[in-house]
Structure 1
């Protein structure tokens, strides 16, 4: 028995431990006591466990950290105290745990950070204090945790941070402040020079200041959605060379496109629901690696040339005030696959506007003011939306769209050029024969088209039908004639 490296006593309705129950298990490396009814652990309960590396005490009824029982577990690397009722962490409770790397204190009843208790954990690399009742983080709260890499503080009641609360966290790479009550941007993060992932979504933050992340050049990911952010400093996201994704929805007071100097690795940029009226001509010079651009629901009137954004694959510009697409607007975007220009005021599209887009397969110019539509360069399209352009009454030849699978036209008669007038009922009958519910599914999805939002809008909706359409070698054109 003394040579067993592992012992699982979880879920055994144990309510009490004797003072010397496992003293002879000197080679034991992992002890599981989770899911019992322990309210107290006496001194000496783990005496003699010189090799113990993992101790699991989660899901019990403990009200404070068992200080005396934990003394001198010098080999302990992982300690789970989560899902108890702990409301007090004694100042010296972790003394002697010189090897501890992972500490779980989440899902307890803590109301403050146990600053003194954390001063004796030099090897700690990951800690979670999430799902507690902590409301404030004082200065130097984690001052001695120089090895800490991951810190979770989400789902607390934190409304305020000391300006130096994160001082000393020289190795921190992940900080989670999501689901708290912060009213102001956490400027204390500026001391975290190695921070790579930051989350402060689902708070009450209303603005992001100028140079907000000036001390965090290693940031790769920032999560800050579900905040009532209205104002963002123009320089807020400068000099973040590792940042890959930036998403900001509904910042209604933003009137200028942000200065993204030095943020050269950005691959996805979403700035929707703002009041941006124009884009700088140098926007693409700052974003050479951009693949996805979403500027929908703004007030854009004119567009610059996007040629320098050579890696762009998807552009969403729907719901703006754009009036014209020039010859060079999208010139030589060889990787562009999806372009959404719906719900603008476009009257004119230059005949060669789409002539150098060899990868374009999805184009939406619905609900504009077009009276003519250029077809040059669109031979690879599989999905096309022109509905809502009431002045566009001419027929469009199917010869210009040999790959087209799905399209929406302003008028039903325009679908005749794609064989819809002759084959509509035949195809419907065939679909009924091949798949009992395919037509019902189609109508359900068709009726919900305008409700599809964000990244499923238009592009992903039509992808659902692509395989079926290939099988029938037919163009699905709406509105259906007859």
Structure 2
């Protein structure tokens, strides 16, 4: 009781302290360490009450701001400022006067800036900066922006930029000597210079390049000694010919473990994958692979991927070639054109624990389809054309949850097999190991509820080891049907 009262008093104290710095306007709310002034027509930065109280985040996005005047943040101890999704064109040099030593992160994405504000150069402790999707071209980047990035280069760890007005790679990036994460979120450049990442080749861990007009994966990548994650997505001019082997030297990119090549106009498994033995997570989502043929088997057999996404790849069947991926534990085949699972579709995939096949016209699963999926734990069949619960799940003894379509499953006494299966595969608490999500088409009920309440009344149902009522707590589907 005393602990509960103490927590209430503590929260009240925090609210009182935060309220002391709230501006005199009903357009802002103050909760603990967050000041939220977003989503309103502010006209300008509100006048904050000076305070030493630490504020983690100041939200000023979607506030229709057009300019940031001098000393806009003076007197408040704020770490992260979110000014994204406004119409800011003017940013005075003294905008951060009085806050130079407290601001750690600044988000200015989705504005109307044409230059990098010189005021940013006064931030002595800034670690994260996002100026993406502002019409800042290469000339502006390398003129006024050069001095700004030089001033903050020793502290900046994360930088985001990019816009379709950028036709050349900015040279000012060379000043970012401690950079760990770089996000390039747009650009009209077709190539990158070999020294594109000079200055942070030995510090960069995460790189995202998307929505550009690059015609090939840059050779400059091979200089990123410690790169761990590469997201190279939505670069539609790449194609199969743009995946260059020299860009992925196995002797250099030996730390790369997370690779995405989403929506890059690929039609085959890239050959470069066989040089990337360290990659554990791979996504080829959004590429029209159609069929992964036998030519891909040698490539696939050489990689150690554990997490593979072939989401939205126009596949009409489970690619037989991926059976060569002996370490695969997570497989996403959602949003394809797969109609059936046949007996041998998952051969040699015994380590798979998570299988997602949602959003497919799937209407048949062979009773033997999961014969080798002994370690399967999660199965997602949501938004498919299935009308029956596949008996194949009986071959996966570790299965914990199955997600089925809503309002499609035929629920009759024929489901007695599933009730018996669940009652003989229980947890230590005596409850069924297997959880079923989905709703019936033939009766207003969730499948869980139907198994628990209706199957025992079936004439041919023989009670074996009935589960306790404590095991059934209803489901969200029950609420929608009552």
Cα distance change of structure 1 residues 176 and 261 upon mapping to structure 2, 3 Å threshold: same
Structure 1 residue 100: deviation in Å? 0.9
Structure 1 residue 140: deviation in Å? 4.6
Is 1:168 the counterpart of 2:199? The answer is yes
Structure 1 residue 88: deviation in Å? 1.4
Q: Deviations over 1:197-235 (max 9, x none)?
A: 433332312123347544444444433333321244334
Q: Deviations over 1:397-455 (max 9, x none)?
A: x99x97258xxxxxxxxxxxxxxxxxxxxxxxxxxxxx9x954989xxxxxxxxxxxxx
Query: What pairs with 1:401-480 in structure 2 (closer than 5 Å)?
Result: 403=417, 438-439=441-442, 465=447, 467-468=449-450, 471-473=453-455
CA distance in 2, matches of 1:150, 1:102: 9
Equivalent residue for 2:327?
A: 288
Q: Deviations over 1:319-358 (max 9, x none)?
A: 9xxxxx9x9x987653358799xxxxxxxxxxxxx9x945
Bigger helix share: 2
Equivalent residue for 2:469?
A: none
CA distance in 2, matches of 1:46, 1:181: 38
Structure 1 residue 142: deviation in Å? 2.1
Cα distance change of structure 1 residues 218 and 468 upon mapping to structure 2, 3 Å threshold: farther
Cα distance change of structure 1 residues 99 and 185 upon mapping to structure 2, 3 Å threshold: same
Contact 2:91 2:119 in 1 (8 A): yes
Q: Where do 5+ consecutive residues of structure 1 fail to align?
A: 320-324, 341-353, 362-380, 384-397, 406-434, 443-463, 476-482
What SS does structure 1 have at the residue aligned with 2:67?
coil
Match of 2:214 among 179, 182, 197: 182
What SS does structure 1 have at the residue aligned with 2:141?
coil
Is 1:226 the counterpart of 2:263? The answer is yes
**What count of residue pairs does the alignment treat as equivalent?**
357
Is 1:41 the counterpart of 2:57? The answer is no
CA distance in 2, matches of 1:472, 1:160: 64
CA distance in 2, matches of 1:232, 1:174: 23
Q: Where do 5+ consecutive residues of structure 2 fail to align?
A: 1-17, 25-36, 382-391, 405-412, 420-438, 460-482
What SS does structure 2 have at the residue aligned with 1:127?
strand
Equivalent residue for 1:424?
A: none
Structure 1 residue 102: deviation in Å? 2.0
Equivalent residue for 2:289?
A: 251
Contact 1:4 1:25 in 2 (8 A): no
Q: Deviations over 1:89-146 (max 9, x none)?
A: 26x654342311122323432233724132221111223325x334335265522223
Query: What pairs with 1:85-104 in structure 2 (closer than 5 Å)?
Result: 85-89=112-116, 93-104=119-130
Moved more, 115-124 or 65-74: 65-74
Cα distance change of structure 1 residues 53 and 246 upon mapping to structure 2, 3 Å threshold: closer
Q: What TM-score do the two structures reach when normalised by structure 2?
A: 0.54
Please tell me whether Structure 1 or Structure 2 has the larger radius of gyration of its CA atoms.
Answer: 1
Equivalent residue for 2:159?
A: 127
CA distance in 2, matches of 1:277, 1:12: 52
Equivalent residue for 1:138?
A: 169
